Amino acid sequence: MSPMLCPATQRVAPCRLIPHGRTKRGEGPSPPVNGVAGMMRMPIALLFLAFLVLAGPARATMPAHESPQTDTDAEQFALSNLTFALYHEMGHLLIDRFSLPVLGNEEDGADNIATILLLANGSETGNGLLLQVRQGWLGLAQTPSLSKTGETELAAFLRPHSPDALRAGRIGCLLVGSHRDMFAHVALEMGLDEGGVARCAGRLGRMVQGWLRLRAAFMNRTSARSGAVPEPEAATGETIRIVYDQQDAFADIREMMIQDRLLEKAARGVLAGYELERPVTLHAMACGTPNAFYDPSKGEIQVCYELGAQLLDLFPQLHRSRSRQQRISPRRP
C-alpha cells in the first residue's frame, strides 16, 4: 500500500483525533452512466472528485475477479480485513475526539467512514481491499459457527453491529456506486438493476458530501504549509504510538502485521493531518477474542492477533465455497 497524503492538507503531520464506548468491532436516482463523476449529480460529483484529489493519486486497477489460493493470497485477505477493522475503530476515534454528530447506529457510521477513506486511496489500495473486505463479511455470514443469522429480530436490533451480510451489502453498493464498470460483477452478484446502481451512486455522493461537511465543521486540521511529507515513522512519533506485542502463540500473525507495516500505514492513512489533543496508541495484541476495539479511556485502538488467525482460517473456506458456487451457478456473460 502506497503512502497516502492527508485528505485535509496533502501533508502528513500529527493528527488531532476523539470518548465513546468501547466497541467490538429518500434516495433519489442518478443517471446510470459510467464512472463516479457521471453517476452523481454535478455538485456531489465535484465534491467526490475533489476528495479523491486531496486524498492522493489513484493507483492501478486490480483485476475484477481473482482465484486466490496461495499463502500470500490468504495473508493479503487477512491484512485487507485487518486494515478495515483498524479504519473502523479509527472511525470511532474520530467520532469521539471531534464529537462528530451521528444519526443512527454509530457502528454503521464507523463502517461508512472507513469505506469512504479507503475508496479515496485509489483502486488498488482502496477498492481492491474493499472487495476482499466484502468477501470477508460474506464469508462470516455464511459460516454457521461465526454468523448470527439465527438470532431473534429483537436481538439483531439491539446488537451494536449490523449483520455481516448487510455490512457486505453496504460496501458492495458503495463500490458499485464509485464505478459501475469496474464493479459490474459486484452489481450482478447483488442483483442490482440500473435503478439500484444509480441509487448506490447517489448514496455514495451524499455520504461523501456529508463527510466533507463534518470534516470542515468539526475537525481541526494542521496548516497546509506544515512541511514536507515524512516517512510513516515520523508521522507517528510522540503523538501516535505503535505497539506490536510479542506473543509466541501468534508469532506468525505478528510478523505478518509487522512486515506489512499494518499499524503504521493505518495511522498514516486516517490520522495524519489532524492535530491530536491527546496521544493515540495503535496496539496489536492477544485479546482472547477475534476482534478489534477502541478504548477511549486509554486513547488506544487494539487489533487482536486472534482476528488475524480467524481470517487466515476463513480464507480457504471462503475460496472453496466460491469455487463450489461458481460450478453450480456459472457467471452470466
Rounded Cα distance, 89 and 110, in Å: 7
- What's the pLDDT score for residue 333? 38
Average the pLDDT over 252-266 and give the result: 97
What pairs with residue 221 in β-bridges?
A: 274
What would the 3-class secondary structure string for the chain be? CCCCCCCCCCCCCCCCCCCCCCCCCCCCCCCCCCCHHHHCCHHHHHHHHHHHHHHCCCCCCCCCCCCCCCHHHHHHHHHHHHHHHHHHHHHHHHHHHCCCCCCCCHHHHHHHHHHHHHHCCCHHHHHHHHHHHHHHHHHHHCCCCCCCCCCCHHHHHHCCCCCHHHHHHHHHHHHHHHCCCCCHHHHHHHCCCHHHHHHHHHHHHHHHHHHHHHHHHHCCECCCCCCCCCCHHHHHCCCEEEEECCCHHHHHHHHHHHHHCHHHHHHHHHHCCECCCCCEEEEEECCCCCCEEEECCCCEEEEEHHHHHHHHHHHHHHHHHHHHHHHHCCCCC
- What's the pLDDT score for residue 274? 80
Hey, what's the cell of 108?
A: 454503521
Range of lowest pLDDT (43-57, 184-198, 240-254) = 43-57
pLDDT tens-digit series, residues 213-246:
988 888 876 544 333 333 444 444 468 999 999 9
- Tell me: pLDDT of 7 over 60: no
Highest mean pLDDT range out of 105-114, 144-153, 321-330? Answer: 105-114
pLDDT-derived band of residue 165, with 50, 70 and 90 as boundaries? confident
Phi/psi for 12 (5° steps) reads -110, 120
CB 237 within 8 A of CB 280: no
- What's the pLDDT score for residue 230? 37
Range of lowest pLDDT (53-62, 74-83, 249-258, 270-279) = 53-62
CA angle 313, 166, 126 (to 5 degrees): 65
- Tell me: pLDDT of 37 over 50: no
- What's the pLDDT score for residue 162? 73
CA atoms within 13 A on the CB side of 77: 25
pLDDT tens-digit series, residues 140-160:
887 765 545 444 444 444 445
CB 322 within 8 A of CB 271: no
